[in-house]
Homo-oligomer: A and B are copies of this chain.
Amino acid sequence: MKQFSVAMLGYGIAGKAFARILNQTHDEIMKNTGYDVRVVAITTGSRGSLYCMDGIDLKEATRQLEEEGEFDPESPIFSTMNSMEVVETVDYDAVLELTPLNIFTGLPAADHIRKALNRGKHVVSANKGPLAWYYRELRDLAKEKGVCFFFETTVMAGTPVFNMADNCLQYCKIDKVEGIFNATTNYILKEMTKGVPMDEIMRAGREGGFMEADASMDTKGWDAAAKLTVLLNVLMDAGITPDMIDRTGIEEVTPEDIEAAASRGNVIKLLCSGTMDENGKVTGKVAPGEVPVGDVFTDENLVAVLSLYTDLMGKLTILQYGLETTQTGYGVFIDTVRILDNIK
């Protein structure tokens, strides 16, 4: 039995869901892989950190944050280390980058990842910033150091995208992607189509806990553009950044536009697409567009959808349902499991 030590940078929705899944599967993983997976460090922005090489009680960590609003400063495993200090000094095997996103810089998350890879440590990132801004550099660095660098959660949470491409579409060339990647704008447009006024939509979304107080990163199309960038960088080696995406948000979409689309039998969606031309040049676009009612993209219940166009397998579409936070945690979890698959 060998310990596999994990450091978690950030302990929000994804982190807590990961912790739940790990607790639930720990013994089965140990049986299957021989690895005793333990979380040895957890950092938060302003609620303290935990550090214990024997492994942190994750249920207790979650309880402290939820009931006391911070990690207990009296706890013997309480620590004042910040994320970079953990990345630089702790003896972990893999680091999970779960810190808040800066969609315009990818920092400081990219610095955490670069440092960990340079130390020869495996990295899982649920943060799409580093992938959108520094993918090639980080990928090459991971390769040079012979370590894993996985990031399933960055697009469509735990829905198989990168893992599927890696394992199930080997030797396929992907030259086009299409999809709806942003759940918030998909929700807003759906409610607008039902005739719900915008202020009610926003209130219901915030009360439901799936819309941020400032939803402008969603409505301006930045979140979708960042996810499209990640897809194009990873699946087509595009080498682009989010500012290079031809981007239009949904802010200009009016109830009249939606009615006009409906009169044509169509629904307005925030569509993302990316293509590679004959010379290998990749371009991406995010913009509201009309989709005929009945197309899979108009399914009332879907949260996100992705179509991949390949040479050997034709077109393939995968749909994500449910906004469950578990799915976000599962993305981080399956990446961690993939590391174990790679090292065993």
**Roughly how many angstroms separate A312 CA and B29 CA in the complex, as a whole number?**
15
Whole-angstrom distance between the alpha carbons of A164 and B295 in the complex? 24
**A315 neighbours in B (Cβ, 8 Å):** 321-322
* Chain A residues within 8 Å of chain B by Cβ, number: 41
Those of A1-39 within 8 Å (CB) of chain B: 21, 25, 28-29
The oligomer's copy count stands at 2
Dominant secondary structure at the A interface:
mixed
- CB of A46 to closest CB in B, whole Å: 30
Q: How far is the CB of A65 from chain B (nearest CB, A)?
A: 22
Q: Select from chain B the residue with minimum beta-carbon distance to A298.
A: B294
Q: Are B171 and A163 in contact (CB under 8 A)?
A: no
User: A129-137, A253-261, A323-331: which one contacts chain B?
Assistant: A323-331
A316 contacts partner chain B, Cβ-Cβ < 8 Å: yes
Which 9 interchain pairs have the tightest Cβ spacing? A160-B168, A314-B322, A317-B319, A167-B167, A315-B321, A296-B296, A163-B168, A25-B171, A312-B330
A-B contact pairs, 11 of them (CB 8 A): A158-B312, A160-B160, A160-B168, A168-B334, A171-B333, A293-B294, A294-B298, A312-B330, A313-B327, A314-B326, A317-B319
* Residues of chain A at the chain B interface (Cβ within 8 Å): 21, 25, 28-29, 158-160, 163-164, 167-172, 293-296, 298-300, 302, 312-322, 324, 326-327, 330, 333-334, 337
